[in-house]
Structure 1
Amino acid sequence: MGRRREMAEVKRLLSLSRIVTLTGPGGVGKTRLALRVAAEVRRAYPDGVWLVELAELDNPKLLAQELVAALGIQSRSAERPDEVLIEHLAGKRTLVILDNCEHLLQACGMLVRTLLRSVPELHILATSLQPLGIFSEQSYVVPTLSLPANESEQSTATSDAVRLFTERAEAVLPGFTLTDRNREAVERICRRLDGLPLAIELAVVRLRALSVEQLLDRLDDRLRLLSMESSAVTSRHQTLRALLDWSYALCTEKERLLWARISVFTGSLDLEAAEEVCAGDGIDRAEIVKLVIGLVEKSVLIRDEGPGGVRFRLLETIRRYGRERLAVSGERSAIELEYRDYYRRLSRALKARLFGPEQMETLNRMRVEYPNLRTALEYCYAERAGLCIDMASDLLYHWVTSYHLGEGRDWLEQGLADSGVRVEIRARALAACGWLAIMQGDPESATKRLAESRALAEQFGLEQVLGYVAQYSGTVAMHAGDGETAVGFYRDALTHHRATQDPLGEVLALIRLSLAYSSLGDSERAVATAEEGMAICDAHGERWQKAYAMTALGFEVWRQGDPRRAASLARESLRTNRLLGDPLGMGISLEVLAWIAAGEEDYARAAELLGVLGNLWEATGARMPGYEYLAVHHEECVARTRRGLGDEAFRAAVERGTRLSEDDALDQALLERRPSPAAGPPPKAGGDRWAPLTRRETEIARLVARGMSNKEIAASLVIAQRTAEGHVEHILAKLGFTSRTQIAAWVAEHTSP
């Protein structure tokens, strides 16, 4: 859709300055332009291009943490998020896109200034309603789409605005074409909307009910009043506001009410959430489905479908408009209360489903609901600290398995500072905070928090809390090298977990107990304990903790001298953790596979795995967090592999591993055997017939060529549909194509007979 001049200018500015801000009114296409520029300059940033979406972030204090998460840095340290960012980006040439900065202008300016000063190779491309106000910042006002010169002059070429209108109209109204008969009306509509992309897209939806001429007539009527309004507001803002007012007016009374209520959601939502939060006082629960369909048809709500099912979201401009309407209605406080309590209930329900067959769905639900969970926590904290830490404790495994470990600990620490929290809530939160401190490599704080929790739990007979305090204390003892004490703690934890009928706690304790027995050389008990944990998992249809139990068993089997079985167990664990998206679990499995490879004198494979692990642990923020006592085997693997290959060959093999994408690395790790030298290496980007595509993109391009949809590709590769969609978009951008047919033709040309 055009924008060639704009893209060239933004790229030129990026060559002049390390901070470029795209400004302009809402809906002008700042984000889309930034992403297209990023796709074209990607090769200039070998260490990555990262998109950080800030529209859903309302708390400026969490800005640096949001960047940590968006960049995939799973920090386990107690460092401030800005320090983690600087350490991670140091020495790297990276482009970071900060999208929608206007509501966090001061915080963005301060953080960008700090990062640019500390990381010389970092470039930042920001989008905002106004510049960040940083010295050396290059600001570019994104224009509206190009239009025909004037209404009296016959068009000689299709303008960008008309091209967008036509493309969207073809999608909304199959069979629509731009003809000599309707061209003038289309061009007049685009002019009335000032070539504003969002305004054009919203207007085109009306073609479902109106002709182009009828749309033009009604648009003129709606906008006539704007010429008499204050010139203090730009015409483009007035136009967008009028169009939103018009969309609002076209809704039924109940649709307007639902629009306003849905605006309380920070992220996307599903039908259940809409029914729980938005029903009542004028909307029956049974009406929600029909009203949601109405808002989707009017392009107020956007429908997305992924592995977790159908979800809905509002564009940010439309959400903010709805929140204004909600405030005027006087319902805001009541709806925010419903919203908060719904996510409190959901957090408790998700925690209860973490152990069992619904586990994958539960972990994905936690991730997709994260923006809403964060906002609900803010509402909880604003009312009462106890509400906040109760919910934050329920989300413990969300913090552990996501890139938000530090944020989870922050919520708990803030709430625990209030002495008025109920005892049982406080004791549970202290234990959760202790575990997060362990994961961040802060055993001193962990020991203190666990001691406080134990004292309260013993005083008030909180047996479930005592079970987790004992379990976490065992891990602290393992870190200190005291296996005997750790075994005592883990046995104590088992007793409490069995008394409270907590199978998740029981399996967690058994996994840790197995590793503790291994450290003491008690092979028989180590194997029996791990197998007992696996049996409990099988009885409950549980896969995640079984993967960790398999790793523990594989570790002990390897120590006993059976590398073949150990490798099989580690690979099976790796497959499960890959499917669940657990970087810690994947890392531990890869460690065991590297140790096995070194023991079998497959040094090239071991070195490549060490390179892969270097990337993974760097992104995580620590090596084997929670399992640091196993690091001695990592060091032995490094030393043995270096001796086996020699320094130069060792460095080359490790570097090969670091250059692999995560998908490629995991694919190779899961191979039973390495490809034979005669077969040659797998296709790589650059220097072969598949350039510029990565191995994963090549695989997806081939599936596209076979006529598979994004949904079918996702199912075939066991990835999220949105991930598949992202890969296809990257392929189109890299190859300069606009259709899947072009991809299929390109694959045919590049496939050997």
Structure 2
Amino acid sequence: METMAVTRAFGLDGERTSLIGRRAETARIARLLAGARLVTLSGVGGVGKTRLALRVAANAARSAFPDGVYVVELADLRDPELLAPSVLGTLDVAPAGHPGVDATAVLADWLRERRALLVLDNCEHLLDTCARLTDALLRAAPGLRVLATSRQPLGIAGEQVFSVEPLPVPDAAAGHDVRALSGNPAVALFADRAAAVLTGFALTASDAPAVAELVRRLDGLPFAIELAAARVRSLTPQEILERLTDRFALLTGGSRVAAERQRTLRALIDWSHELCTPGERLLWARASVFRGGFDLEGLERVCTDAELPPAAALDALDALVARSIVNCRQDSGRSRYHMLETVREYGLERLAASGSLDVLRGRHRDRYAELTAGAGQEWFGPRQVDWFTRLRLDHPNLRAALEFCLERPGQARAGLALAVSPRHYWITAGLLPEGRRWLSQLLAADHTQDDGADAAGPDAAVRVQAQVTDTYLGILQGAPDVDVQRALAACEAAARQGGHQRELAWVWHHHGILAIWREDFASAAGLFARADTEFRAQGCLDAAFECRVKFAIAHAYGGEVAAADEACGEVEAAARAHHESWLYGMALLARALLAWRAGTPDDAIAQARAAIARLRPFHDWWDVAMCVEVIAWSTQDTPRRAARLLGVLRLLWESLGGRLASAPFMRAQHLRFETAVRKALPAAAFDREFDRGARATVDEAMAYVLDDAAGVPGLTRRESQVAELVAEGLTNKDIAARLTIAQRTAENHVERILGKLGFTSRTQLAVWTYERRDEPAGN
């Protein structure tokens, strides 16, 4: 009678802790292993490669490998000559360890007719030897599969590399709802491990913000999260977060039975550092001055010199990517690199110890001064959205450069130049509070007096430009009128003293904004026309047309239809001629106001939505909010929708971080509209719809404003949008730009979609999406 074979498992101890948040990865690795004879799990230390490999092996041990699953732990093995004998020992094959025996030949002979899985765990320090042994065994034994874990691939023919990423972390803008956060894998891991050391620990509303920020700061790295959770014995999550400034001192206390390098976070990263060559270590340290990532051009500009020439830096970068120290993402033919914050901080420590920190930070500042200056020069043109996207992508680096200017004596004026170019960035990016904070701090740190000796010089012009920009950001945040008037008077005096006509024109523009807010539309139009004339004389076409479109908005709201229509046409023609987007969106907003004034609500809604499509890629929530005002006013006949749009407006205005609840010149109409909607609905119904709008995410709110269609079954609305864009052939970077979300968020969406649908490639997703388009409605 035939009996069912039972797979033998060697080295697979029972799991002592649960594996959290890795179900999709486990399934994908199992599928890879079914089709490839060598699968290597690569990734930075502490990301969880070993746990994943052991889970896959344990699942496979139940049925797939009748001749056994064998796990060989190599972390403590130092002598390459002992690799094959160690594998023999795990397989319990004689004559292991006897002098003169060719252990590789014995292994090959023993495995030749067997269907087995060999797990080689922690290969990175024996990479060449592991590669040679694996290649020899796979050639000799056709039924053998090898699953390896290593901080870099083995690099042999037929190898399938699976990059193990950190756990997804909560989006910083997603709020702190306990139920939603509990479903996040990184948060769930922290809570699980914290409960193991502190009986009764559970995520609460008071702890949730600290835990969410903690796992974000730890990059979703499982090992670091587990070490942090162990501190719950004596510290609250908030106290752990506050002490994370020295994460290497805080995150200690790993398992006493683990290898020495797996007991503390520093020891884990030390191990990766020891495996690097001197050139790789040098680049690791230097590249740590970047925050949030960098491109090849930035790397060469900041990190190369006679000690590390560009060619050597490129080789070192390639090696660091292979070793999982640096991550590389490629989109639209361009590569972008980043380090986990834990890895970056380690490199920054090394850079400081070398005495080169200030030199590299200075180079880094110069790089981003060049970048922002280039963005300012090309803002009014076809690359406008590209420049904005690039600046948003490099925003952490911009912050680092501004910090350097603020911290180092004599650098404040350079920081002001960095902060005001391009002028529109802080406004269109929805970063008013941050932009104003940088400008005010840098202005305070800049002790240069604008006396007659240098009042007319280019250096003094930077300070005046910063004063004028800071004042405008204050206006947009709703600063008190008395403060604004005082600041504008000071700006005008400084501009006149130095003969800075461009900045004087901006002062007139700012007075025009205040006049609109007082609903003095005729005075506002006159001020914009005056500024427009001066900007044209200075050759500043973008500023001139900005004044022209605001002239149009003033007259559109004030009722001068012919003048507004003419100005809109001029701006639209200029925007088309220069392939510009932002001013075109503003002109469409003016046309939406004209349509609303004319009593054609459908046209007003269509124009406002078209304006949002132009403005949204810039994250220009100020002007998007004005578009939503027009859309809301045009839906008064559907009061439930109108109430929800009022909630969306609350969300948008609060996101700007100011005192405003609507654009000041729209306030009276906003209040009249809200009163009418409240009268049209029972109080409970109004509050319910208003709260739904106010508590939505920005993505959800915009989907409602634009009346996006519902998503496909099984996927959220956003996931459905992402699936459609993948089917169109867009990369993750392109998807992020199209939907105005972070690239990492786009990547997470794609991964979740693949996991939900059981797919392993974007091609499969694209085919599935096209097939669904052809299905009859209702299927």
Does the 8 Å contact 1:587/1:613 carry over to 2?
Answer: yes
* CA shift for structure 1 position 334: 2.3
Give the 3 Å change call, closer, same or farther, for CA 347–271 of structure 1 in structure 2: same
Does the 8 Å contact 1:427/1:452 carry over to 2?
Answer: no
Give the 3 Å change call, closer, same or farther, for CA 439–558 of structure 1 in structure 2: same
Q: Which moved more, 1:555-564 or 1:589-598?
A: 555-564
Does the 8 Å contact 1:439/1:625 carry over to 2?
Answer: no
Q: Which structure 2 residue ranges, 5 or more long, are not aligned? A: 1-13, 22-43, 52-164, 188-203, 219-224, 242-249, 450-458
* CA shift for structure 1 position 273: 0.5
Aligned partner of residue 328 in structure 2, secondary structure: strand
* CA shift for structure 1 position 433: 0.7
Give the 3 Å change call, closer, same or farther, for CA 360–489 of structure 1 in structure 2: same
Letter in 2 for 1:511: V
Aligned partner of residue 464 in structure 2, secondary structure: helix
Query: Paired residue for 1:12?
Result: none
Does the 8 Å contact 2:609/2:627 carry over to 1?
Answer: yes
Once the two structures are superposed, residues 506-527 of structure 1 have per-residue CA deviations (whole angstroms, 9 ceiling, x without a partner) of: 1221122122223432211122
Query: Paired residue for 1:511?
Result: 549
Does the 8 Å contact 1:268/1:311 carry over to 2?
Answer: yes
* CA shift for structure 1 position 308: 9.5
Query: Paired residue for 1:59?
Result: none
Please list, as runs of the form range in 1=range in 2, the aligned pairs for 1:58-73 lying within 5 A after superposition. none
* CA shift for structure 1 position 694: 3.1
Give the 3 Å change call, closer, same or farther, for CA 6–624 of structure 1 in structure 2: same
Matches of 1:591 and 1:136, distance apart in 2: 41
Query: Paired residue for 1:536?
Result: 574
Please list, as runs of the form range in 1=range in 2, the aligned pairs for 1:59-98 lying within 5 A after superposition. 97-98=212-213
Query: Paired residue for 1:429?
Result: 466
Query: Paired residue for 2:426?
Result: 399
Matching residue within 413, 416, 436 for 2:440: 413
1:494 aligns with 2:532: yes
* CA shift for structure 1 position 269: 0.7
Give the 3 Å change call, closer, same or farther, for CA 423–300 of structure 1 in structure 2: same
Does the 8 Å contact 2:492/2:507 carry over to 1?
Answer: yes
Matches of 1:532 and 1:316, distance apart in 2: 48
Instruction: Please tell me the root mean square deviation across aligned C-alpha atoms, in Å.
Output: 4.8
Matches of 1:364 and 1:3, distance apart in 2: 45
Letter in 2 for 1:364: T
Give the 3 Å change call, closer, same or farther, for CA 476–419 of structure 1 in structure 2: farther
Aligned partner of residue 387 in structure 1, secondary structure: helix
Once the two structures are superposed, residues 637-678 of structure 1 have per-residue CA deviations (whole angstroms, 9 ceiling, x without a partner) of: 22333344454544444355456554444334334xx98xxx
1:557 aligns with 2:595: yes
Once the two structures are superposed, residues 570-602 of structure 1 have per-residue CA deviations (whole angstroms, 9 ceiling, x without a partner) of: 11111222333332232222221111222xx23
Matching residue within 522, 528, 538 for 1:484: 522
Of structures 1 and 2, the larger Rg is shown by 2
Query: Paired residue for 2:340?
Result: 315
Query: Paired residue for 1:383?
Result: 409
Give the 3 Å change call, closer, same or farther, for CA 729–283 of structure 1 in structure 2: same
Once the two structures are superposed, residues 109-149 of structure 1 have per-residue CA deviations (whole angstroms, 9 ceiling, x without a partner) of: xxxxxxxxxxxxxxx999589679767979899999999x9
Matches of 1:45 and 1:474, distance apart in 2: 48
Matches of 1:298 and 1:426, distance apart in 2: 46
* CA shift for structure 1 position 355: 1.8
* CA shift for structure 1 position 304: 2.1
Aligned partner of residue 99 in structure 1, secondary structure: helix
Please list, as runs of the form range in 1=range in 2, the aligned pairs for 1:325-344 lying within 5 A after superposition. 325-344=350-369
Query: Paired residue for 2:501?
Result: 463
Give the 3 Å change call, closer, same or farther, for CA 532–708 of structure 1 in structure 2: closer
Matching residue within 263, 266, 279 for 2:304: 279
Matches of 2:500 and 2:185, distance apart in 1: 45
Once the two structures are superposed, residues 365-389 of structure 1 have per-residue CA deviations (whole angstroms, 9 ceiling, x without a partner) of: 1111111111111222223221222
Query: Paired residue for 1:697?
Result: 719
Q: Which moved more, 1:325-334 or 1:586-595?
A: 325-334
Does the 8 Å contact 1:301/1:312 carry over to 2?
Answer: yes
Matches of 1:586 and 1:508, distance apart in 2: 16
Once the two structures are superposed, residues 529-559 of structure 1 have per-residue CA deviations (whole angstroms, 9 ceiling, x without a partner) of: 2222222211111011210111012102321
TM-score for both structures, normalised by structure 2: 0.63
Aligned partner of residue 635 in structure 2, secondary structure: helix
Does the 8 Å contact 1:434/1:450 carry over to 2?
Answer: yes
Query: Paired residue for 1:527?
Result: 565
Query: Paired residue for 1:609?
Result: 645
Query: Paired residue for 1:578?
Result: 616
Give the 3 Å change call, closer, same or farther, for CA 136–466 of structure 1 in structure 2: closer
Aligned residues: 578
1:638 aligns with 2:674: yes
Matches of 2:478 and 2:171, distance apart in 1: 39
Give the 3 Å change call, closer, same or farther, for CA 388–308 of structure 1 in structure 2: farther
More RCO (CA 8 Å, sep 6+): 1
* CA shift for structure 1 position 344: 1.5
Letter in 1 for 2:468: A
Query: Paired residue for 1:109?
Result: none
Does the 8 Å contact 1:479/1:628 carry over to 2?
Answer: yes
Aligned partner of residue 213 in structure 2, secondary structure: strand
Matches of 2:207 and 2:598, distance apart in 1: 42
Does the 8 Å contact 1:264/1:336 carry over to 2?
Answer: yes
Please list, as runs of the form range in 1=range in 2, the aligned pairs for 1:662-677 lying within 5 A after superposition. 662-671=698-707
Matches of 2:348 and 2:684, distance apart in 1: 61
Letter in 2 for 1:435: Y
Matches of 1:713 and 1:365, distance apart in 2: 12
Matching residue within 302, 307, 326 for 1:301: 326
Query: Paired residue for 1:566?
Result: 604
Matches of 2:513 and 2:329, distance apart in 1: 42
Query: Paired residue for 1:269?
Result: 294
Give the 3 Å change call, closer, same or farther, for CA 129–497 of structure 1 in structure 2: farther
Does the 8 Å contact 1:377/1:391 carry over to 2?
Answer: yes
Does the 8 Å contact 1:98/1:126 carry over to 2?
Answer: no
Aligned partner of residue 568 in structure 2, secondary structure: helix
Please list, as runs of the form range in 1=range in 2, the aligned pairs for 1:439-478 lying within 5 A after superposition. 439-442=476-479, 443-478=481-516
Matches of 1:445 and 1:49, distance apart in 2: 46
Aligned partner of residue 336 in structure 2, secondary structure: strand
Does the 8 Å contact 1:427/1:454 carry over to 2?
Answer: no
Matches of 1:126 and 1:636, distance apart in 2: 56
Query: Paired residue for 2:747?
Result: 725
Once the two structures are superposed, residues 366-413 of structure 1 have per-residue CA deviations (whole angstroms, 9 ceiling, x without a partner) of: 111111111111222223221222221225433223354223212222
1:244 aligns with 2:276: no
Give the 3 Å change call, closer, same or farther, for CA 528–729 of structure 1 in structure 2: same
Matches of 1:582 and 1:737, distance apart in 2: 37
* CA shift for structure 1 position 6: 8.0
Letter in 2 for 1:98: E
Query: Paired residue for 2:137?
Result: none
Matches of 1:654 and 1:146, distance apart in 2: 51
Give the 3 Å change call, closer, same or farther, for CA 126–331 of structure 1 in structure 2: closer
Matches of 2:581 and 2:622, distance apart in 1: 15
Matches of 2:367 and 2:662, distance apart in 1: 32
Give the 3 Å change call, closer, same or farther, for CA 100–341 of structure 1 in structure 2: farther
Does the 8 Å contact 2:280/2:320 carry over to 1?
Answer: yes
Once the two structures are superposed, residues 201-227 of structure 1 have per-residue CA deviations (whole angstroms, 9 ceiling, x without a partner) of: xxxxxxxxxxxxxxxxxxxxxxxxxxx
Query: Paired residue for 1:224?
Result: none
Give the 3 Å change call, closer, same or farther, for CA 242–379 of structure 1 in structure 2: closer
* CA shift for structure 1 position 471: 0.5
Query: Paired residue for 1:627?
Result: 663
Aligned partner of residue 312 in structure 1, secondary structure: strand
Aligned partner of residue 383 in structure 1, secondary structure: coil
Give the 3 Å change call, closer, same or farther, for CA 419–193 of structure 1 in structure 2: closer
